[in-house]
Every structure is written in structure tokens, then in C-alpha cells.
Amino acid sequence: MIKVLNIAGARPNFMKVAPIYAEMKRRAGEFSPMIVHTGQHYDAAMSDSFFDDLGMPKPDVHLGVGSGSHAVQTAKIMTEFEPVVLSEKPDWVLVVGDVNSTIACALVCAKLGVKVAHVEAGLRSRDRAMPEEINRILTDSISDLLFTTSQDADENLKQEGIPAERVRFVGNVMIDSLLDHLKLAESSRIRADLNLAAGEYAVMTLHRPSNVDDKLVFSGILDALLSVAARLPIIFPAHPRTKAKIEEFGFADAIANSNIRLIDPLGYLDFMRLYSGAKLVLTDSGGLQEETTVLGIPCLTLRHNTERPVTIEMGTNILVGTDPEKIMSAAYDALDSTKLAAATLVPPLWDGKAAGRICDELIQS
């Protein structure tokens, strides 16, 4: 039996760990899985509710690291996680995504000689100003098994000199969670509570420091949103950092007097129910680029690069940067077009079965 520590640090991690952990529990004769929550996202409204929605049990270990600078947070995760590894003696530690918890736990294991599997390996934005890019590159370089979501990720790893025998193309485990929970999300009352009809509103998420910490950049994005909101309501579940910047920069009145509806962050099922009925999604996150591709919903990514180019090549994602004119033009085109969803292709192995393939590979390795 293989003992696996599954590391969850931030909300995007939870959606990736949930189907893998569930698959391991189904295969109880092969796996002894544990969940380690680093506490990188420590607010109950933005963390614990996701565990509940995803049907995940209370973590076996909670490190409770909380917030801090990248250096402080990464170091604290390492010092708290090392005793867990020494005590539990796992066969594998499975890390997902690209947050500080990912690299911190992988580095501890590499130093201790414990095998590391990285889910969502090989994604590259080519932008080293993004902390996530550094985390991805370093985690991939020290992992023993690298599970990729798309074939361009395989090529990235090949170009970086990662031996092919360490790489496994297994598909996208985020889509496992999406397909597992779409039906369950129909029980959410979020659309009714907000008085929304499917296809008659847009959804917005914005949290990256490059977008919300710079007043000039944020102001330009907001100008574009105000224009788009004249066409249809934009529902904006705002991250606490983003809300604080809205107040600090004096944007609150403009938003309050517009068709942009600022709401608190939502749980996994409520948010899925919200964006799955949207006419348009605008975001700077990674996961929504993937989920909207599978659902055939036009997605405008408010960044100058993406580590998920397959969502542009095959899906509904359009990279628009932060230029207000480009955002508005792409939004109007998406709202007026009836062709985008019909032309969408779902990338290979984004079929809801990635967790099973991951478990198969762990057993065979």
C-alpha cells in the first residue's frame, strides 16, 4: 500500500486535490492518503467552505502558516512541514499547482529524499515577474514524477531538459472537479439570490498584484468594465485584497453607481453556479481559463501572458492584457458573436478521468 501526503495550500489546490484524494480513498487496497493543509489560505470563508463543497474531509494535518511575504510564508511552510514528513514517512508527497505551498513542500521532500509528484507540471507563462512562474520551474526541476495537463507542457519540460521518463501526460484534474460538481451546483441559489438569468450577465474576478496594486492599471481595467457593464450586469466576487485596493484608490463610488455588482467571495459550488451561467467571463486567474473552455463560455484573460495556451488554441479564451480599448473591443465581439462556443474544442484528456490516471501512474512508479 502506498502512503501519500496530498498537499493543499490555496483554493485552486483544493479543486485539484479533491478528485485525487477521492480516487485514492476508492482504491483503499492500494493507497493510504492523507491531506495536509498548509493554511496558506487561512480565512474560513475562503478556505474551509471549499473543503465542504468539494466533499473533502477535515485535513489530517493543518500547518496553520497564515500570511506573510513570499519568503516568510515559504520558510514557515518548510519548517512546519518537515516534522510531518519525518513523522509520517510517506512513500510519495503529491503537490499541485504553483503556489508557495507547492515549492515549499517539494523542497522539503527533495532535501529528505522523499519522492515528489507534481500535478499540473510544465505550465509556463514565460514571465518570471510572476511568483507562480518561479514556483513552477523550481518544483518541476526537483520532482520525481511530473503530471501534465496538456501536450505543450510536455514540450516545455523537454526543452528544459527534464527526462521524458519522469513526465506523464494525464489530463486536467481541475476538469474532474468541474464535471463532478456541475450537477450538484444546480442546487445553489446564487443566481436566484442575485436575481440573475442564465446568459444575461458577466462574471469578473481580479486579484493579481500587477492588476490591482497599480492604480493606473486598475483604473484602466475599471474604465473598460464600466463600459461593458452598460451592456449587461457584471458580477464581481472580490478578493479581500482587491476590495481593499478599491477603497484605497477611491473606486468604490464609481462601482456603486454602475452595473458592476461587487459581492463577497463565494464558495466553490456557488461560484460554479454563477460562472457556468454567464454570457462572458473576465478574469486574471488560471483555473477559469480552463473551466470556461470546457463549458464553451467566452473568457477574456486580463493578462499579457498565459501558462495555459491550449485554452486559446482550442478553447474560448482570449488574451486581452490590460488595455481598456482591447478589453472593450474583445468583450463587445464576444457578446455579439454566436460562433465562439460552437467552434470550441475540449483539449485531449480533459475528460474528468485524470485522477484515475494519476493514481495508476503512482502505482506503476
Closest CA to 13 of 106, 115, 90, 145: 106
Nine-digit cell string for 218: 486598475
CA 296 – CA 337 distance, rounded (Å): 13
CA 89 – CA 85 distance, rounded (Å): 6
Instruction: Specify whether 118 is catalytic.
Output: no
Is residue 302 within 8 Å of residue 211, measured between CB atoms?
yes
Instruction: With residue 81 as reference, give the H or E element that holds it.
Output: helix 70-88
Identify the DSSP state of 16: H
- Is 104 strand, coil or helix? helix
Q: Which residues pair with 61 in a beta bridge?
A: 36
- Choose, from 62, 118, 181, 207, the residue flagged as catalytic: 207
Neighbours of 213 (CB within 10 A): 14
Catalogue the long-range contacts made by 126-134 (C-beta closer than 8 Å, 24 or more residues apart).
126/305, 127/304, 127/305, 129/210, 130/210, 131/70, 131/100, 132/98, 132/99, 132/307, 133/98, 133/307, 134/103
> Quick one: how far is CA 270 from the chain centroid?
16
Residues 55-86, buried b or exposed e (16+ Cβ, 10 A)? Answer: ebeebebebebeeeeeeebbebbbebbbebbe
CA distances to 117, 180, 278 from 138, in Å: 13, 31, 36
Catalogue the long-range contacts made by 333-336 (C-beta closer than 8 Å, 24 or more residues apart).
334/280, 334/298, 334/300, 335/228, 335/231, 335/232, 335/279, 335/280, 335/298
- Is 143 strand, coil or helix? coil
In the chain, the amino acid numbered 317 is N
Q: Which residues are catalytic?
A: 207
